[in-house]
A and B are shown apart, each in its own frame.
Chain A
């Protein structure tokens, strides 16, 4: 179920999971989502875009850091709970040490204008990378049973509610999300009726 030509691959071991997620996390400035999609779907080919969006959907609805939930679920899928732990540990361990070291250095450098400017520039780019990743994932909606127009309406409504109106995410997911799931359900029922019983 992928529209990229290269065949899917999988991690060779739990060490591979740990190392991949460590390297991935270390490249994620201002958030790991963009680089995770890049590494997992394009470089490593462990997941198709569709699978990435599906895992992210579960990760987004559950409480907790989305990207950590995603790491956990991917690790679990390939190597059970040990894989889940390896992926999550890879995501957290080295970056945690780095961020604490940075905390100790922060007080000294925060006031240097070049440092503050560099951080602002990096922040602006990482915000852009998240949008760029979202643009790349849009083709994953092509086979969505709700159809492109309904997906577009749902997407615009979600963006307006969360980004512009700043409604609490839990309510948006509960309201729009539930409506979308019910509609997707009716479309799947209709599809099943068209193609006849399996």
Chain B
């Protein structure tokens, strides 16, 4: 593989994730199907199982889930690949978020901005329940759902540190009880 081809591949990766960034309403995971189409299908840089492992690894590691994009880039083209995909997915959305945050903060007394925030508030909370539901319902079996409900009640009603609950989940899972 020549150096020219390699850098060309990096530019393609960067460009593709740059485009996907602004389509990723609801997080980078919402455009995962298109990443699959390009990385596994068109460019043939990842196998199917590497692709799904990327998402699983990022879920298991601490930190924002968007890091699955770095894992895909790494598996496709090493550290340079990880840098290319992460820069691509982050640059447009962060620039837009910064601009929007300033625009709405300086106009926070405007009725339109207040209406937007008030109108969206119940949707935001409902989307968190939806995320929780999608995460737990896509895992086969049913015993882990009980664990999910118990964790939700503890997080809601107690001030126990969340890490203790995650740790308890790891122990319960490691013993093979879920």
Contact = CB atoms under 8 A, between A and B. Distances in A.
Q: Which of B93, B102, B151 has the most CB of A within 10 A?
A: B151
A32 interface: yes
B22 interface: yes
Interface of B: 21-28, 30, 53-54, 56-67, 70-71, 74-75, 79, 82, 86, 89-90, 92-94, 96-98, 100-102, 104-105, 111-112, 114-137, 139, 144-145, 147-156, 159, 162-163, 165-166, 168-178
A11 interface: no
Nearest to A181: B119
Given A146-B119, A150-B122, A162-B130, 17 more contacts: A31-B59, A31-B131, A33-B131, A53-B121, A55-B101, A68-B66, A99-B67, A100-B71, A103-B71, A118-B174, A124-B169, A125-B166, A128-B150, A128-B155, A144-B118, A182-B119, A187-B118
Interface of A: 25-35, 38, 42, 53-69, 72-73, 76-77, 81, 84, 88, 91-92, 94-96, 98-100, 102-103, 106, 110, 113-115, 117-138, 140-141, 144-146, 150-152, 154-159, 162-163, 168-170, 172-173, 176-177, 180-185, 187-189, 192
A27 B61 CA distance: 10
A53 B178 CA distance: 33
B123 A127 contact: no
Contact of A118 (B28, B53, B86, B171): B171
A24 to B, nearest CB: 10
A141 to B, nearest CB: 6
A159 B25 contact: no
Contact of A121 (B89, B98, B169): B169
28 contacts: A28-B63, A32-B65, A53-B121, A53-B124, A57-B124, A60-B26, A61-B120, A64-B97, A69-B93, A69-B94, A92-B64, A95-B61, A96-B63, A103-B57, A114-B176, A121-B144, A122-B170, A125-B147, A127-B148, A132-B155, A134-B128, A137-B125, A141-B121, A158-B126, A159-B129, A168-B30, A181-B116, A182-B115
